[in-house]
Amino acid sequence: MTQAPQDIATIVEAFELIDDWEERYRYVIELGKDLPPFPEDARTEENKVRGCVSQVWLETAVSNEADGPHLSFQGDSDAHIVRGLVAILLSLYSGRTATQILATDAEATLGELGLREHLTPQRSNGLSAMVGRIRRDAEAALENA
């Protein structure tokens, strides 16, 4: 699986440089456009994220390494802004160990970006559902290691 094109520090830095929320939305949409194509055969019920108004798919791959299980993610959505949110979460989580994922405070990072205040309640709930799914996958990887 491929990691998201930008690391989270780069995204946070870009958000700090963009003052206008319309521009920030455009940037989030661009992040989504930069995601690698999501395989059609991965658009399954198992990969569908529950709790999102838009359709969101998240595929998780686990590799067991000396320092514990590492998780890589691919994701997609049928909505442009949500696809961008998927890209941000993949930048935050993909390629990390399960322990690192569980220790990551997504709320703090998303707070740095100021996303919560500028998303509809439905999108905010969907974002929480995606974070929850990633955390559950990390917990399962640790249990199965």
- Just list the catalytic residues: 52
Phi, psi dihedrals of residue 27, rounded to the nearest 5°: -65, -45
Strands (E) in the chain, as ranges, are: 56-65, 68-77, 96-97
At 28, list the tokens: 């989030």
At 111, list the tokens: 């707070």
- Whole-angstrom distance, CA of residue 141 vs CA of residue 121: 30
DSSP state letters, 115-137? HHHHS-HHHHHHHHHHHHHHHHH
Side chain identity at 113, as an amino acid letter? L
User: How distant, in Å, are the alpha carbons of 7, 80, 106 from that of 95?
Assistant: 11, 24, 15
